[in-house]
Amino acid sequence: MKMRHQLGLTAAFAALLALGCATGTSVKRSEVNKTAAKAVATAQKKAEVALDPVAASLPEVPREFRAAWVATVANIDWPSSRDLTTEEQQKELIAILDKAAELNLNALIFQVRPTADAFYQSDIEPWSAYLTGESGKAPSPFYDPLEMWVAEAHKRGIELHVWFNPYRAWHTSDKGPVSDMHIVKKNPKIVKKLANGMWWMDPAEAETQKQSLDVVLDVTRRYDVDGIHFDDYFYPYTSYNDEKDFPDDDSWAAYQAAGGTLSRGDWRRAAVDKFVKDVHDGVHGIKNHVKVGMSPFGIWRPGYPPTIKGMDQYDKLYADAKLWLNEGWVDYWTPQLYWPIKQEPQSFPVLLAWWVGENTKGVNVWPGMGTYRAGEAKWGDKTEVLNQIQITRALVPEGPGQVHFSFKTLQTDKDGVATALKEGPYRQKALVPASPWLDSVPPASPNGLSVTGNTLSWFAGPGESAFLYVVYRREGGAWQYDIIPGNQTSYTLPASADKVSTTDNIQGGSSTSVTKGSKADYVAVSAVDRVGNESIRVTLSVK
């Protein structure tokens, strides 16, 4: 596997260079944040070594965002059917999270609002028909799916990001009638019907922006989520409306009557820009640790960079995605790069390198990958996925990441791709890259480390709760590590029968006892907070 992996990487870079993509793209980081984070890391290392010189040999845990989308629209990933019972839904939910943990993923992006509806208890929008089979109908027996997704993800040390569609109001796969609480009935003047039967909220309407922003901020306030996420659906794809223009004559006329001077395209883009910025500012005004992520169409405009051809999202979806990245209105950037390496008009490495070059604020760049295409004739086998991961690591060395579409592909191990990930690039766990512009102060270290038999225990440090702990152990001179959820303050070390004793008894015989001890001769533990800062690592000699 190792040799094959190296050969695949060589092939990937050969393709990248043949396409004229410069891998040495200079990224202008936010200098204040970067400098502060490096200073903190340097001070931490000095403090560790001062406490215990053995800490100088401690390894750095790999950093990589490893996520997958869990799509609920049309029951793509979860629940598998709109007719499942509560118990069946929960069983599938647990199976997804267990599989994610098995594959060493550290985040999931769960779709909570596919069509102006809700996969959680909401006073703003109705329960989703994809959940219960009927718009507005709550689960019975009742439970709150989002609450359970968050709790169960965190139990496994997995971040849970929530994915919203800001403007899609009704999808043809919804089938049945909508609830009276639904925007289509509650405020029909801001909703437009498209030629393909879908309904779409008019993004330029102030009431649309308020509705969608209220939904996002409501979830941010009430649920312990780790991220807020949007995909590529802003104005609809023109194919949804028989290539005709979006039907917003009324709102456009009102804008002009009020003295508006922008062109129609600029007016539409300005409306979307305002929403994106309002979400970013609003979320961080409530909970600064919650990351805002965007997953736009992978091409900004044809010709950027010069070899690229394809749809113009700037002119068709009225999404000026480059502006949002340039302005830093996101904390992570996940362009949908669902094309193979060698497909020159839409090459994965060429597009990724271009987006990295546009990352002037130094946010995290974690591309969306078309993992669902594994095994397709135009894609190739799972090796394409492995090679693309290596390219993300090369182009974003300080904090790479990938988001796979969609979880079903990993759950079913299509073309053996999940197995290849676990045996290859995901064989060891990784921490999510930090976001120092949100918070660069590390949490307090755990304290009171002790080992009894082969059980390592500690106490949580003061202040903010740890989201994760990293446990290090030295065996045979080599360090190993593990990452565990922050609600655990003990860890079972690999055991060895290293102590044998014989005791005489009063009957004149003797008995032999074996005490299980740890294989490790040194251990260390650190705490990790909600934005990826790791504390000073506290060490302990195991005698």
- Indicate the residue among 423, 458, 482 that finishes a domain: 423
Same domain assignment for residues 87 and 156:
yes
Would you say residue 441 lies in a domain? Answer: no
Q: What is the pLDDT of residues 167-215, one digit of tens each?
A: 999 999 988 899 999 999 999 999 999 999 999 999 999 999 999 999 9
Q: What DSSP letter does each residue of 49-67 carry, written as one string?
A: HHH-GGGGGPPPPPB-EEE
For residues 215 and 117, what is the distance between their CA atoms, to the nearest angstrom? Answer: 10
Contact at 8 Å (CB) between 525 and 538?
yes
For residue 298, what are its two tokens? Answer: 């992978």
Would you say residue 249 lies in a domain? Answer: yes
The size of the chain, in residues, is: 543
Q: Give the torsion through C-alpha atoms of 336, 340, 342, 343, to 10 deg.
A: -60
Same domain assignment for residues 411 and 536:
no
For residues 465 and 536, what is the distance between their CA atoms, to the nearest angstrom? Answer: 15
State the pLDDT at residue 32.
59
- Angle of the 264-286 helix axis to the 206-222 helix axis, nearest 10: 20
Same domain assignment for residues 412 and 507:
no
Contact at 8 Å (CB) between 389 and 423?
no
Would you say residue 343 lies in a domain? Answer: yes
Regions in the chain scoring below 70 on pLDDT? 1-34, 497-516
**Hey, how many other C-beta atoms are within 10 angstroms of the C-beta on 266?**
14
Contact at 8 Å (CB) between 82 and 97?
no
State the pLDDT at residue 40.
86
| Domains: count for the chain | 2
- In sequence order, what are the residues at sequence separation of 6 or more whose Cβ sits closer than 8 angstroms to the Cβ of residue 220? 228, 282, 283, 286, 287, 290
Would you say residue 431 lies in a domain? Answer: no
For residues 67 and 512, what is the distance between their CA atoms, to the nearest angstrom? Answer: 50
- In sequence order, what are the residues at sequence separation of 6 or more whose Cβ sits closer than 8 angstroms to the Cβ of residue 448? 457, 458, 459
Token pair 């929960």 is found at 90
Q: What DSSP letter does each residue of 18-36 carry, written as one string?
A: HTT--TT------HHHHHH
CATH number for the domain including 451? 2.60.40
For residues 353 and 507, what is the distance between their CA atoms, to the nearest angstrom? Answer: 79
Same domain assignment for residues 308 and 352:
yes
- In sequence order, what are the residues at sequence separation of 6 or more whose Cβ sits closer than 8 angstroms to the Cβ of residue 463? 443, 444
State the pLDDT at residue 37.
78
For residue 256, what are its two tokens? Answer: 């002009």
β strands within 366-427, DSSP E? 368-369, 401-404
- In sequence order, what are the residues at sequence separation of 6 or more whose Cβ sits closer than 8 angstroms to the Cβ of residue 40? 440, 441, 442, 533
Dihedral sign (CA 332, 338, 341, 347): negative
Same domain assignment for residues 407 and 526:
no
Same domain assignment for residues 419 and 451:
no
Would you say residue 429 lies in a domain? Answer: no
Would you say residue 436 lies in a domain? Answer: no
**Hey, how many other C-beta atoms are within 10 angstroms of the C-beta on 470?**
21
- Indicate the residue among 423, 456, 487 that finishes a domain: 423
For residues 170 and 194, what is the distance between their CA atoms, to the nearest angstrom? Answer: 10
Q: Give the torsion through C-alpha atoms of 181, 184, 190, 195, to 10 deg.
A: 160
50-72 burial string, b = 16+ CB within 10 Å, else e?
eebebbeebeebebbbbbbbbbb
Same domain assignment for residues 367 and 500:
no
For residues 139 and 125, what is the distance between their CA atoms, to the nearest angstrom? Answer: 15
- Domain range for 295 is 2-423
pTM value surpassing 0.75: yes
For residues 423 and 445, what is the distance between their CA atoms, to the nearest angstrom? Answer: 32
DSSP state of 437: T
CATH number for the domain including 381? 3.20.20.80
- In sequence order, what are the residues at sequence separation of 6 or more whose Cβ sits closer than 8 angstroms to the Cβ of residue 259? none
Same domain assignment for residues 409 and 505:
no
Contact at 8 Å (CB) between 130 and 79?
yes
**Hey, how many other C-beta atoms are within 10 angstroms of the C-beta on 231?**
22
Would you say residue 437 lies in a domain? Answer: no
Would you say residue 381 lies in a domain? Answer: yes
Same domain assignment for residues 412 and 453:
no
CA angle 500, 502, 505 (to 5 degrees): 150
Same domain assignment for residues 366 and 398:
yes
Same domain assignment for residues 410 and 454:
no
**Hey, how many other C-beta atoms are within 10 angstroms of the C-beta on 350?**
24
Same domain assignment for residues 405 and 526:
no
Select from 379, 390, 456, 470 the least CA-distant residue to 106: 470
State the pLDDT at residue 454.
95
- Angle of the 249-257 helix axis to the 264-286 helix axis, nearest 10: 90
